[in-house]
Structure 1
Amino acid sequence: MSITQHYLLDTYRAQQHGEPAPPAPGAHDWQVAREWRDHRQFRAVVAGRPARGRIRQALGRWLRQWARSTC
Structure 2
Amino acid sequence: MTANQQHMIDVYRSAQRGEIAPPMPGLHDWDAVREIRDHRRATRQGRPGPLRRAAARILAAARGGGSAARPCA
TM category (shorter chain) comes to 0.5 to 0.7
Asked if residue 46 in structure 1 is aligned to residue 18 in structure 2, the reply is: no
Q: Could you say which residue in structure 2 is the equivalent of 1:35? A: 35
The correspondence of residues 1-71 of structure 1 with structure 2, limited to 5 A, is: 1-46=1-46
Distance 1:44 1:10 in 2: 39
- Please provide the CA RMSD for this pair: 1.1
Cα deviations across residues 27-54 of structure 1 (Å, max 9, x unaligned)? 001100100100000110117xxxxxxx
Which has more radius of gyration? 1
Percent of aligned pairs sharing the same letter: 47
Q: Higher helix share goes to which structure? A: 1
Instruction: Compute the TM-score of the two structures, normalised by the length of structure 1.
Output: 0.63
Q: Which runs of 4+ in 1 moved over 6 A?
A: none
**3-state SS of the aligned residue for 1:46?**
coil
